[in-house]
Structure formats: structure tokens, C-alpha cells
């Protein structure tokens, strides 16, 4: 991955975390990694735990950012969620999987779309 793509992704994750915190969610982990992969954001929403995939694009030319969340990515995120829960021993009432799209225009602030329970 190029430095520019990493910077775009990091910007999107920062914007997404700020947006979710403004909505009342609490960030528990950012870029949580293990040998099997990475979860962009893990948050608490009341008694629930939210595993969030952040997708950032600079334009909508190739469709919405969430279109990049494939069935394979969903399967991987579910596995990672189980591992995070096992390692932290957190026992939420429910877990949820969300996607946050960040569309970064060439000018102005990024446009954020929060898709709750995306899969």
C-alpha cells in the first residue's frame, strides 16, 4: 500500500471515529491487530459492542465506499470480532457490525455515512 493510500485511510478512520463519538459511541480500540487481521474501530454503544469497518474514497467514481466490503471481508471481520471478545473478556449484550463511509472531496470536509448493522 502506498503512503498516500495509508494517509487517506488514516484520515478516514480519524473522521469516522470523531463522527461516532459525536453520536455517543465510545472508542475502545483503534486499528486492533492480531495475526489474523485488523479491525478498524471497536466501540461501545450503550451495552453493545460495535465492530466497525471504515472505507474511505476520494470520489464516488467507482461506487460508494461500502461497496468495497466484500463477503470475504465480512467473514474475516466476524472472526476477528470473536477473537477480540475472547482476548478482552468483554461480554456485551449484543454485538453489531457497522460500516462508516468517508468520501473525501478535493475541497471541504469529508462526507460521512454511518451504516448501522451493515451485515
Q: Where are the domains of the chain?
A: 3-115
H helix or E strand, kind and range, residue 32: strand 26-34
CA 83 distance to own-chain centroid: 16
Question: 3-115 belongs to which CATH class?
Answer: alpha beta
Q: 40, 116, 26: which is closest to 81 by C-alpha?
A: 40
- Per-residue pLDDT tens, the chain, 119 aa: give them: 688 888 888 989 999 999 999 999 999 999 999 999 999 999 999 999 999 999 998 877 778 888 889 999 999 999 999 999 999 989 999 999 999 999 987 777 778 999 998 66
CA 88 distance to own-chain centroid: 19
Round to whole Å and give the CA distance between 83 and 102. Answer: 27
Amino acid at each position: 500500500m502506498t503512503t498516500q493510500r495509508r494517509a487517506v485511510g488514516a484520515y478516514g478512520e480519524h473522521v469516522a471515529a470523531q463522527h461516532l463519538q459525536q453520536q455517543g459511541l465510545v472508542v475502545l480500540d483503534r486499528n486492533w491487530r492480531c495475526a489474523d487481521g485488523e479491525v478498524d474501530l471497536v466501540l461501545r454503544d450503550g451495552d453493545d459492542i460495535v465492530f466497525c469497518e471504515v472505507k474511505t474514497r476520494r470520489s464516488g467514481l467507482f461506487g460508494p465506499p461500502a461497496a468495497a466490503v466484500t463477503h470475504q471481508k465480512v467473514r474475516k471481520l466476524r472472526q476477528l470480532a470473536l477473537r477480540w471478545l475472547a482476548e478482552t473478556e468483554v461480554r456485551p449484550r449484543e454485538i453489531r457490525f457497522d460500516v462508516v463511509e468517508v468520501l473525501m472531496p478535493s475541497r471541504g470536509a469529508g462526507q460521512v455515512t454511518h451504516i448501522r448493522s451493515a451485515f
